[in-house]
Amino acid sequence: MELLKLNLTEFRKIAKFVYERTGIDLPESKVTLLSNRLRKRLRELKLDSFDAYYALLCDTARCEEELPHFLSAVTTNETYFFRNESLWKFFRSEWIPEIVERKKASKMIRIWSAASSSGEEAYTTVMCLREDLPNFSTWNIRVIASDISQRVLDRAKLGEFNDYSVSKMPEALRKKWFVTTGDKHVLKGELRKLVSFRFHNLRDPFPDANFDLVFLRNVLMYFDTPMKLKVLETVTRALVPGGKLIVGDVNPLRNTPELNAALELDYCGSNVYEKPGLKTAAVGGAVKG
């Protein structure tokens, strides 16, 4: 029996719905991928066509219940602990010493893991802080992980991961911070309590934002240029002066003229940007913020 596949008319309607809800731009080359992912929802809901599914999405009374499943289906959530080794080397050997010096008076650190998926990035962050931050217990740390999929966020809160998620991390850290049973690895509560999870759409301003660091990795590639500009504005406003933005290996900020023209951040290298405006003064050969 031939598998049900979206025709172009159906694809365009659903892709328009995705864009209006999330800002994610789905090109027509993704028609097979979207068909495969939504076909599972049709089976679950006992629907016989993509048009019937689209009608459900457009039904205000029924949409809110289905929307989390829909968003999980159309977004990519693959990630793992310590993804991109060079990034975490920068975070541990450069960013942490810098923030320790800059925040030695207030001892407050605020970090945002944007589009955090199932939480591996945010939990890697607090694991590194727990390992490397001097006098850890004296610091006030707030790490917020956000995503547009509530189902993904609910899973992330559990702190339960499979073999793949922990396969690239140092074995000593895995043994230290996880309780492992078979192929299930549960993060210890000491680290889980350091991360707060929040539903957030990147096209919208982030409330009460004053972050020292924002992770925005492997996200911008899914947006068209107008949406990229909105997201860039959101994360720029969310940073404190001197705060850093870390983007993924695919970095459209450097090769898209419209983004370069709008960019209010200074490039620091290795896909790291800094928000200008931090007042510094040399005192006895040291720089204080």
We report the CATH number of the domain holding residue 223 as 3.40.50.150
Domain-located, residue 3: no
Give the pLDDT band (50/70/90) at residue 288. very low
Average pLDDT value for residue range 122-150: 96
Burial class (CB in 10 A: 0-12, 13-18, 19+), 263: middle
pLDDT at position 2, please? 57
Average pLDDT value for residue range 120-149: 96
Angstrom CA distances, 69 to 57, 148, 155, stand at 11, 11, 13
Sign of the torsion formed by the C-alpha atoms of 37, 41, 47 and 53 = negative
Domain-located, residue 289: no
Write down the residue that tokens 């970090």 correspond to: 111
Q: Do 62 and 95 share a domain, yes or no?
A: no
Output the domain CATH number for residue 35.
1.10.155.10
Q: Do 68 and 89 share a domain, yes or no?
A: no
Tens digits of residue pLDDT in 161-177: 999 999 999 999 999 99
Please say whether the beta carbons of 72 and 145 come within 8 A: no
C-alpha closest to that of 67 among 161, 240, 201, 209: 201
In the chain, the number of structural domains is 2
pLDDT at position 22, please? 79
Whether 283 shows a pLDDT value over 60: the answer reads: no
Average pLDDT value for residue range 113-134: 96
Domain end: 39, 74, 109, which one? 74
Tens digits of residue pLDDT in 188-225: 999 999 999 999 999 899 988 999 999 999 888 888 88
Q: Do 143 and 259 share a domain, yes or no?
A: yes
Whether 250 shows a pLDDT value over 80: the answer reads: no
Domain end: 21, 41, 74, which one? 74
Q: Do 105 and 235 share a domain, yes or no?
A: yes
Is the model more confident about 67 or about 83? 83
Q: Do 106 and 47 share a domain, yes or no?
A: no
Crossing angle of the two packed helices 50-57 and 8-22, in degrees rounded to 10? 20
pLDDT at position 15, please? 92
Query: What does R_g of the chain's alpha carbons equal in angstroms?
Result: 21
Domain-located, residue 288: no
pLDDT at position 72, please? 74
Give the pLDDT band (50/70/90) at residue 279. low
Write down the residue that tokens 């802080």 correspond to: 129
Q: Do 99 and 40 share a domain, yes or no?
A: no
Domain end: 42, 74, 106, which one? 74
Q: Do 220 and 250 share a domain, yes or no?
A: yes
Please say whether the beta carbons of 102 and 275 come within 8 A: no
Is the model more confident about 124 or about 23? 124
Q: Do 225 and 123 share a domain, yes or no?
A: yes
Angstrom CA distances, 182 to 162, 185, 208, stand at 9, 8, 41
Average pLDDT value for residue range 105-126: 96
Average pLDDT value for residue range 96-114: 97
Kindly state the tokens that stand for 89. Answer: 């080397």
Q: Do 119 and 259 share a domain, yes or no?
A: yes
Q: Do 25 and 101 share a domain, yes or no?
A: no
Give the pLDDT band (50/70/90) at residue 181. very high
Domain-located, residue 2: no
- Which residue range(s) make up the domain with 39? 8-74
Whether 102 shows a pLDDT value over 90: the answer reads: yes
Domain-located, residue 239: yes
Sheet (strand 160-161) strand order: 160-161, 184-187, 178-181
Domain-located, residue 80: no
Q: Do 184 and 248 share a domain, yes or no?
A: yes
Any alpha helices (H) in the chain, and if so which ranges?
8-22, 31-45, 50-57, 60-74, 85-90, 96-102, 120-132, 150-158, 163-166, 171-177, 189-192, 225-238, 257-262
C-alpha closest to that of 18 among 77, 73, 78, 79: 73
pLDDT at position 78, please? 67
Q: Do 161 and 185 share a domain, yes or no?
A: yes
Whether 233 shows a pLDDT value over 80: the answer reads: yes
